[in-house]
Structure 1
Amino acid sequence: MELKNIFKDEDAVSPVIGVILMVAITVILAAVIGAFVLGIGGSQEQVPQATFNYDSTAYASNVMVDISHQGGGDIDSNNLDVKIGSSTVWDSGAIGSSPNGWSENTTDTTSGWKGGTVSAGSTVSVQKPKASVSSGTSITIVWTTSSGDSSNIISEGEISI
Structure 2
Amino acid sequence: MDIKKFLSESRAVSPVIGVILMVAITVILAAVIGTFVLGLGDQVGDTAPQASFSFDYNGAQEITITHESGDAIAGDELSVVVPSDLTAETVSKKIGTDDNMNAGDTIVVTLATGETLDDGDEVRLVWTSESGSNSATLQTYTH
- Which deviates further from its counterpart, 125-134 or 39-48? 39-48
Q: Check whether the contact 2:74–2:100 (CA below 8 A) recurs between aligned residues.
A: yes
Q: Check whether the contact 1:77–1:114 (CA below 8 A) recurs between aligned residues.
A: no
Q: Check whether the contact 2:54–2:68 (CA below 8 A) recurs between aligned residues.
A: yes
RMSD of Structure 2 on Structure 1 (CA): 3.5
Give the structure-1-normalised TM-score.
0.59
Give the structure-2-normalised TM-score.
0.66
Offset, 1:26:
3.8
SS of 1:136's equivalent?
A: coil
Structure 1: give runs of 5+ residues left out of the alignment: 1-18, 88-99
Residue 149 (structure 1) aligns with: 133
Any idea what the Cα deviations from partners look like across 1:4-34, whole Å, max 9, x if unmatched? Answer: xxxxxxxxxxxxxxx7x98665422223246
Structure 2: give runs of 5+ residues left out of the alignment: 1-18
Residue 15 (structure 2) aligns with: none
Residue 41 (structure 1) aligns with: 41
Residue 103 (structure 1) aligns with: 89
Report the residue type matching 2:41 in the other structure: G
Find 2:117's aligned residue among 108, 121, 133.
Answer: 133
Aligned-pair identity in percent equals 22
Offset, 1:118:
0.6
Q: State the distance in 1 between where 2:141 and 2:116 align.
A: 18
